[in-house]
Structure 1
Amino acid sequence: MTRNGIIALVIGVALAIAAGLWISELAIGTSEVTTETASTGKAQVGGPFTLVNQDGETVTEETYRGKYMLIYFGFTFCPDVCPTELGFMTAALDQIGDKAEKVQPIFITIDPERDTPDVMARYVKLFSPRLVGLTGTPEQIDKVAKSYHVFYRKAEDEHSTDYTMDHSSIVFLMGPDGEYLKLFPPQTPPDKMAETIASHIE
């Protein structure tokens, strides 16, 4: 191989690696790449949290121990993306039948300013009686979003007092012990999601 050919090959490999890293970042929805532990090889996603459910009750990650958690971060004023993903989650759980009893679907707001427990209560009822809506203080939301590597930010309109939220759109599947199992990219079909969830349930 010529010198130019070797250089081209090295550059090509480097670009491929860079592209792979970039895709990994996009999958998590933030500029931080999820790290892997040297001992277990499992992604560092999730962790302790203290939030408030749609009934005004304080809950933590321990509240849902023993169940798989299917978690989505969004906001109730979201015009299309959030309703679509929550609809896919609901449809996926409907497809796995009795196994769905072992799964707790959870919707965590990234807009606690507007998404009070009352607002969350009205919203989650639109999708499934199983769906739990969680909110909290801005600090609590920031902590749990960071633990899941979820990107979000307020997008204000200079011509209006209203605002929307930019955010990553990922569905997370967590195990009964709270450990990360799988993430579903945006627009993952319900049947594919259902197949993956069912494969993790004994």
Structure 2
Amino acid sequence: MGREFVGIFDEWVHTYDDSVSGKDEEYKDVFMKYNEILQAVADAAIGSVIEFGVGTGNLTVKLLHRGLEVVGIEPNQAMREVVAEKLKDLIVIDGDFLEFETEIRPQSFVSSYAFHHLTDAEKAQAFQLYAEQLPAGGKVVFADTLFASEAAKKEIIAFEQARGHANLVEDLNREYYTTVPVMEKLMTDAGFTVELSKMNNYVYLIDATKK
């Protein structure tokens, strides 16, 4: 359920905002147009929102600026402490993409840079769960790294290895990054219509609507 990666963010919590702002050269391409990506997620969300992987609250701020009701789900305690200090009125719950308890009746599920912590089987389970909870017309809006194919994934890993980006290569090999065709199938099988928009060389905006 992605919980095996929670400890990584004990290390990232104090450097994450620097990385997403482009100060970490190794991850610069991953976070290219970061604010634009988050704004695209926020703009596509509707109604009451459950946000997975709140992190340091960057997407949350944009959702709140739109006047949306937001409940945050964050499995890492250090991240919960950071966002609680930044957004004192935000409800942030210890949970993950598959296990969360909240009284909110969601019209949207959103996330940025986190869904790859689930295996493809867990992703499928998650979409079925969201389909059960959302009304018709409800949204799943995720920004996450996807690859056009397995071959494309191998090519970019080799490219980053040649650039000496050992930490990024480790991430790409360790976590469960999937492909565009797989993601589309998982969501359509769960009863969603799906639009994918490539935002940078790594990240796609996944905008899905329950039928």
Using the size of structure 1 for normalisation, the TM-score is 0.31
Which one scores higher on RCO, CA 8 angstroms, separation ≥ 6?
1
Structure with a larger share of its residues in helix: 2
Larger-gyration structure (1/2) = 1
Using the size of structure 2 for normalisation, the TM-score is 0.30
